[in-house]
Amino acid sequence: MTNYISSPVVPSLVALQELTWFNPKKVGFDDVQTTLSLQMSDILEASDRLTRFAPYLAQVFPETAATNGIIESELKAIPVMQQALLEEAEGRLSGRLLLKCDNQLPIAGSIKARGGIYEVLLHAERLALANGLLQTSDDYRILDSTSFRDLYSKHQIVVGSTGNLGLSIGIMSAKLGFDVTVHMSSDAREWKKALLKSKGVNVVEHSADYGVAVEQGRQEAQQKDTAYFIDDEDSTSLFLGYSVAALRLQKQLVEQGILVDSEHPLFVYLPCGVGGAPGGITFGLKQVFGDHVHCFFAEPTHSPCMLLGMETGLHNAISVQELGIDNLTCADGLAVGRPSAFVGPMMDSLLSGVYTVSDSTMYRHLAMLVDSENIPVEPSAAAGFSGVLRILSEGRDYQTTHQLEDKMSQATHIIWATGGDMVPKEERAMYYQQGKAFI
Ligand SMILES: *Cc1c(COP(=O)(O)O)cnc(C)c1O
């Protein structure tokens, strides 16, 4: 008998209940650090690469000029939203609440501007180095020239996406001059496809979900030696691009005078699709803060692929569809039925837990965020808010195990808002209306 049948959690997943799962395999960071397949040195290498490209990015994407070509988002207090959540939590909410505004990341308007853009830059750098056009000591603004665009136009980049990864990879690849194709799943929004087409990206539309779009992309890329497939289901490069966020966050916390140590725990709530973005950030945060950081993933009740994979130990060998769960959700960025091949196994020892959120909860928090702080996000990006309430109401045992009870009033909670800035006005209004119906 397969082990998932005996899991007590699976029936609740199948019943599409909102639930909170604490990871029984998590261990102290010192016990696993040296056994991980990636290390802090890998994050630093990715960070250095982004620094090399910064002058180029500042030149070709003027919206990044103010930060000298570094793609980063604000970390900010949301006092009015905190008050609104406090009411929802019936007064239990203590500590500081901050929003990490990846919904406003330049170029792609979502968290994918971290990993997606990073992997394209990595590939572009390798090609230029191999062709003798570039040295790592050069001023990378030279990439903004015909000789580089000629080189890249002879190379293809291919990716499968539910929308946002396609946006970040399509926009970045097209800017460099690559011949880029994005395979879009059925849930990808029309405006995302239209935007990409307007930038000269080839868009292939599929009537099936994310897994199929990725598979079609993989097959297309295999036909050509000059094609490079960005594999969202199994890419350490994407993962490392995301992980750099941890170094940046550390700096922002220091600048804001916020302590993270044994007396001041940090809780981070990360919406999860295939797992690359939240996994990379968790990996980075554990490297920086060790046991002082507690990372939780948020998944739609209709797409709980990471929870299912980690709970059963089957990881990418099982999909939610195999249990009859439909993978249909308003959170298009999280509509993934099967988790990444390597993220889940790495999260086994690092992640604190996963909780699931219904579409109505995401819509409700989306509308509350507009009403309270006037910040528009997309539904996926609103999945983080429930986390803080869940951990305070259902995390008693977790708090005891980690000796956190008397430290919760000194805790910092960071909700990672993962996307929304590029959503057209009419769609924004629709999201808001949907959300108002649930308040
Ligand atoms: C892609 C995405 C996520 C999750 O990232 P994964 O790497 O798929 O886990 C979260 N929020 C938004 C808005 C996204 O587009």
The number of the ligand 1 atom at minimal distance from the alpha carbon of 163 is 15
Task: Specify the CATH architecture of the domain 112-234.
Answer: 3-Layer(aba) Sandwich (3.40)
pLDDT of residue 94: 82
Sheet holding 227-230, edge to edge: 202-205, 179-184, 156-161, 227-230
The number of the ligand 1 atom at minimal distance from the alpha carbon of 270 is 10
For 220, other C-beta atoms within 10 Å of its C-beta total 18
Residue found by looking up tokens 């996000």 in the block:
377
pLDDT tens-place string over residues 131-167: 999 999 999 999 999 999 999 999 999 999 989 999 9
Domain-wise residue ranges, the chain: 10-108+239-436, 112-234
**Cα distance between residue 71 and residue 241, in whole Å:** 11
Distance 271 CA to ligand 1 centre (A): 6
Beta strand 96-101 pairing with 75-77: antiparallel
| CA dihedral over 66, 70, 71, 73, signed as positive or negative | negative
Mutate to test the pocket of ligand 1, among 303, 380, 421 (most ligand atoms within 8 A of CB): 380
Q: Ligand 1, atom 15: nearest CA belongs to which residue?
A: 333
Distance 190 CA to ligand 1 centre (A): 18
**Cα distance between residue 65 and residue 57, in whole Å:** 8
Residues in contact with 96: Cβ distance below 8 Å, sequence separation at least 6, in sequence order: 77, 258, 411, 412, 413
pLDDT of residue 237: 97
Calculate the average pLDDT of the chain: 95
Mutate to test the pocket of ligand 1, among 418, 421, 431 (most ligand atoms within 8 A of CB): 418
Confidence of residue 91 (pLDDT cuts 50, 70, 90): low
Distance 124 CA to ligand 1 centre (A): 23
pLDDT of residue 90: 76
**Cα distance between residue 247 and residue 43, in whole Å:** 9
Which residues does a 6 A CB cutoff place in the pocket of ligand 1?
Answer: 110-112, 164, 271-278, 333-334, 378, 380-381, 418-419
pLDDT of residue 7: 87
Q: Ligand 1, atom 14: nearest CA belongs to which residue?
A: 333
Average pLDDT of the residues in 384-399: 93
For residue 255, give the amino acid letter. Answer: E
pLDDT tens-place string over residues 304-321: 999 999 999 999 999 999
pLDDT of residue 2: 52
Confidence of residue 87 (pLDDT cuts 50, 70, 90): confident
pLDDT tens-place string over residues 341-379: 999 999 999 999 999 999 999 999 999 999 999 999 999
> In the predicted model, is pLDDT for residue 3 greater than 70?
no
Confidence of residue 188 (pLDDT cuts 50, 70, 90): confident
Confidence of residue 209 (pLDDT cuts 50, 70, 90): confident
Distance 223 CA to ligand 1 centre (A): 28
Distance 138 CA to ligand 1 centre (A): 33
Q: Among the residues of 290-338, which ranges form H helices?
A: 305-312
Q: Ligand 1, atom 8: nearest CA belongs to which residue?
A: 273
The overall pTM is greater than 0.95: yes
The number of the ligand 1 atom at minimal distance from the alpha carbon of 102 is 13
Distance 88 CA to ligand 1 centre (A): 26
**What is the CA angle 109-113-114, rounded to 5?**
140
Say whether 301 sits in a helix, a strand or coil: coil
pLDDT tens-place string over residues 264-278: 999 999 999 999 999
Contact 142, 148 (CB under 8 A): yes
CATH class of 10-108+239-436: alpha beta
Contact 323, 197 (CB under 8 A): no
**Cα distance between residue 57 and residue 309, in whole Å:** 37
> In the predicted model, is pLDDT for residue 125 greater than 90?
yes
Confidence of residue 1 (pLDDT cuts 50, 70, 90): very low
Domains 10-108+239-436 and 112-234 belong to one CATH topology: yes
